[in-house]
Amino acid sequence: MKQWTIPNLKGKIALVTGSSRGGGRGIAQVLGEAGATVYVTGRSTRQSASRSDVTGTIEDTAEAVTRRGGIGIAVRCDHTVDADVASLYARIKEEQGMLDIVVNNAWGGYENYDDVDFLAPFWEQPMKRWDNMFQAGLRAQMLSSRLAMSKFFLEQKNGLIINTGVYPDIGGNYPVNVFYDTVKRAVAIMTRGMAANLQTGGIGVTVLALAPGWMRTEAVNQHYGLEPDDPDFMKVEELHPTESVAYIGRAVAALAADPVVHNKAGLLLEVGNLAAEYGFTDIDGRQIPPFRVV
């Protein structure tokens, strides 16, 4: 297999929401490695963290983007607050005058994770968890997408919107969280509807959904007693191979560089399948397949 090289995205302007940690951090860092200017947003700053149980701030990610060769710009933004999001897009307009890539990755519902078992039946789940998933997840993706269209993409007649989600039919004895599964499935339905709206000729904007596998996020690492990018991660792989947060980042970079990415409009894509299609691997050299429970 031909060795994959990071695409050249120098001159591209990207926004990655919810990128203080987790998959968003990985996406922002890889886009930086590709040379892009990346706006890094979230609620966790060095002055005020949104969660006390895991590490990661927007400043940390933005500095990592710059170290890797891009330009990282940290902007504190609560994606559940319309005024914050409008201000974010206005700032990008003022500073850059253009926008090429929007990755809607912000998410909620993991706050106070241990208060109630995440896999408890729906009648035991706190409604605050449901509200946070919709407000900070699904609604935040819609709000960001609307502003991307109205402030940039309709005028530019080009742009790429990627909504992060999950693959709905993992199979096997996969534990069910009705709240989580409902909202994540809604991401795929929303994306398909957005793409249908964009079929009008001449708009030139692509929207798609992207599902990672089992990522070694800060929360997963903490649960298993691992340091970030710890080489001893194999001990968590009893059920299925895990992947670094850079794996989804490489998928986003490959999609952003694909001249015919519009052929994927409206689809829910999986990182493992894109790795096989575009030829990239994870940081350990493995090409990890999509997550499934057998």
Across all residues in the chain, what is the average pLDDT?
90
Tokens of 80: 């559940």
Number of residues that make up the chain: 294
Structural domain that includes position 248: 13-278
- Residue 243 resides in a domain: yes
- Residue 124 resides in a domain: yes
CA atoms of 107 and 177, how far apart (whole Å)? 15
- Residue 110 resides in a domain: yes
Sheet harboring 37-42: ordered strands across? 71-76, 37-42, 13-16, 101-104, 159-164, 205-211, 268-270
Q: What is the pLDDT of residue 128?
A: 94
42 beta partners: 76
pLDDT confidence of 231, banded at 50, 70, 90? low
- Residue 291 resides in a domain: no
Asked if residue 205 lies in contact with residue 159, where contact means CB atoms within 8 angstroms, the answer is: yes
pLDDT confidence of 172, banded at 50, 70, 90? low
The number of domains in the chain is 1
- Residue 104 resides in a domain: yes
- Catalytic pick from 89, 180, 224, 278? 180
- Residue 3 resides in a domain: no
b (16+ CB within 10 A) / e for 45-77:
beeebbbeebbbbbbbbbebbeebebebbbbbb
pLDDT confidence of 202, banded at 50, 70, 90? confident
The share of the chain scoring above pLDDT 90, in percent, equals 70
Closest CA to 27 of 59, 78, 64, 67: 64
89 is an active site residue: no
CATH number, domain with residue 86: 3.40.50.720
The stretch 214-223 carries a mean pLDDT of 74
- Residue 128 resides in a domain: yes
Q: What is the pLDDT of residue 214?
A: 85
- The residue ranking higher by pLDDT, 179 or 200, is 179
- Residue 285 resides in a domain: no
